[in-house]
Amino acid sequence: HSERLMHLEVALQGEIGDLLWLPMEPELDLDKEVRDHLGIATAVANEDAEQARLLAEQHVQSNFRRLTELHHALIVTGDGADD
């Protein structure tokens, strides 16, 4: 299950990855990104599918939360494309 999950996350990152690195608020926490990825990789290496799934889900949710906040900020300031 972990390998399938990792492939899905990689595909998703391919679609939205550039947005995650935008130098805008809320600022990307690089230390947290490293901790998240290390935790996922460690769980996969330990063949702990449940932990890998949980950590990957939390990581993706955190990324989407940041993108949602960024999108909202762009709309509120009038800089968004949805105007």
The three state secondary structure string of 57-68 is HHHHHHHHHHHH
Q: Which residues contact 32 (CB under 8 A, 6 or more apart)?
A: 62
Tens of pLDDT, residue by residue over 29-74, are 889 889 999 999 999 999 998 999 899 889 888 888 888 888 888 7
Tens of pLDDT, residue by residue over 6-19, are 787 777 777 776 66
pTM for the full predicted model:
0.65
